[in-house]
């Protein structure tokens, strides 16, 4: 098996109100709520996972909803600033109408890299985009009563990183991750991998004078890239360690195995395995129905459940 990065695995962001976050992504945006667990380092805080029917890599958006007292993030350099979702061609009118009905802040559609897109903000100010990809996206959309497959999100299209200088980050993407520069528009550089058809794009926005961003409420915490298994994960760990980037040991995240490092531009990167997946403790039909705790916290279940707000 070849040692390859297979595009984006998941993206993790920070939110304030847990119930508001759950309602926005599962009801207004129509993603499937696939896992309700806790922050492994702070079990008094939820960790939410949203995605497609089974939580396929490349569709998984996760949140740490840390409550109303958290400081607001500030967009800037050294961070992921825009999350792009793929949607079917011709669906943006539906989304504009839906956003107006639910008082979602959005901008008029525009064109970027030859693709029509709609920018909007979630309740915490996180910036997202719905993109009519110029390549066909055959992924099966998760449908809800209000959002049918003809307009529903398919999963990630791209992630945008804002940097003062893209060179060192681009080197990680091309020389370590196997991405290639495929397009450029002014100060935006589009990199993609040919190893997967979707969730394959990383855009680098170069803003030399941009102040450093602050990761907090309404911002992306880290971007995770996908590998097939543990063996390949550890292959990349050796490479990243040799570059002196302070990579972590392998960490068991219950549903995948991970390692973390901060790329030279300042963005926290994760590499995560496909295994073991989200059905190790729930059936596909019951994903997201119950609070799932990692084994080390099961003895504290009653205490943890009493400290978490009821979301549904």
CA angle 300, 302, 308 (to 5 degrees): 100
Which residues is 33 bridged to in the sheet?
50
Sheet holding 256-262, edge to edge: 32-39, 42-51, 60-65, 8-15, 220-227, 268-276, 256-262, 251-252
- The residues with which 302 forms a beta bridge, in sequence order, are none
Torsion of CA 248, 215, 43, 232, to 10 degrees: -30
Per-residue confidence at 279, pLDDT binned at 50, 70, 90? very high
**Domains identified in the chain and CATH numbers:** 8-307 (3.10.180.10)
pLDDT tens by residue, 191-245: 999 999 999 999 999 999 999 999 999 999 999 999 999 999 999 999 999 999 9
- Tell me the percentage of the chain whose pLDDT exceeds 70: 100
Share of the chain above pLDDT 90, in %: 95
Residue 59 burial by CB count (10 A; 0-12/13-18/19+): exposed, middle or buried? buried
DSSP letters, 213-273, are PB-SBTSEEEEEEEESSHHHHHHHHHHHHHTT--PPPPEE-SSEEEEEEE-TTS-EEEEEE
- What's 166-221 look like in SS3? CHHHHHHHHHHCCCEEEEEECCEEEEECCCCCCCCEEEEEECCCCCECECCECCEE
Q: Model's pTM, two decimal places?
A: 0.97
Over range 280-305, report the average pLDDT.
95
The DSSP code for 295 is: G
What is the torsional sign of CA 289, 273, 204, 78? positive
Strand-by-strand arrangement of the 79-87 sheet:
110-112, 115-121, 127-132, 79-87, 155-163, 201-206, 188-192, 180-185
pLDDT tens track for 4-29: 999 999 999 999 999 999 999 999 99
DSSP 18: H
Residues in the chain: 312
pLDDT (0 to 100) of residue 69: 82
CA nearest to 28, candidates 96, 92, 102: 102
Does the bond joining 276 to the residue before it have cis omega, within 30 degrees of 0?
A: yes
Tokens, residue 75: 């967009």
> For residue range 66-122, what is the model confidence (pLDDT) as tens digits?
987 899 999 999 999 999 999 999 999 999 999 999 999 999 999 999 999 999 999
- 136 pLDDT more than 90: no
| Of 160, 279, 155, 261, residue with least CA distance to 219 | 160
Residue 1 has pLDDT above 60, yes or no: no
């Amino acid at each position: 098996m070849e040692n390859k990065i297979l595009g984006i695995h998941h993206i993790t962001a920070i939110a304030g109100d847990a119930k508001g976050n759950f309602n926005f992504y599962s009801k207004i945006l129509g993603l499937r709520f696939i896992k309700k667990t806790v922050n492994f380092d702070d079990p008094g805080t939820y960790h939410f996972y949203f995605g497609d029917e089974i939580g396929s890599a490349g569709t998984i958006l996760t949140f740490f909803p840390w409550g109303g007292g958290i400081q607001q993030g500030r967009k800037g350099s050294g961070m992921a600033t825009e999350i792009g979702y793929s949607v079917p061609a011709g669906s943006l009118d539906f989304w504009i109408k839906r956003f107006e009905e639910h008082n979602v802040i959005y901008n008029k559609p525009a064109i970027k890299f030859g693709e029509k897109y709609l920018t909007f903000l979630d309740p915490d100010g996180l910036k997202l985009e719905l993109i009519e990809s110029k390549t066909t996206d055959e992924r099966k959309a998760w449908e809800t009563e209000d959002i049918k497959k003809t307009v529903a999100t398919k999963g990630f299209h791209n992630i945008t990183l804002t940097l003062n200088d893209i060179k060192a980050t681009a080197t990680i993407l091309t020389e370590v991750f196997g991405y290639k520069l495929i397009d450029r528009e002014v100060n935006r550089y589009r990199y993609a991998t040919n190893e997967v058809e979707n969730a394959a794009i990383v855009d680098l926005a170069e803003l030399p004078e941009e102040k450093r961003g602050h990761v907090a409420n309404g911002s992306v915490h880290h971007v995770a890239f996908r590998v097939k298994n543990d063996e390949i994960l550890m292959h990349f760990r050796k490479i990243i360690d040799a570059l002196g980037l302070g990579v972590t040991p392998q960490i068991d995240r219950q549903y995948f195995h991970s390692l973390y490092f901060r790329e030279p531009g300042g963005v926290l990167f994760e590499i995560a395995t496909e295994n073991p997946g989200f059905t190790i403790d729930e059936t596909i039909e019951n994903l997201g129905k119950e609070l799932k705790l990692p084994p080390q916290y099961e003895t504290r279940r009653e205490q943890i459940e009493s400290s978490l707000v009821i979301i549904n």
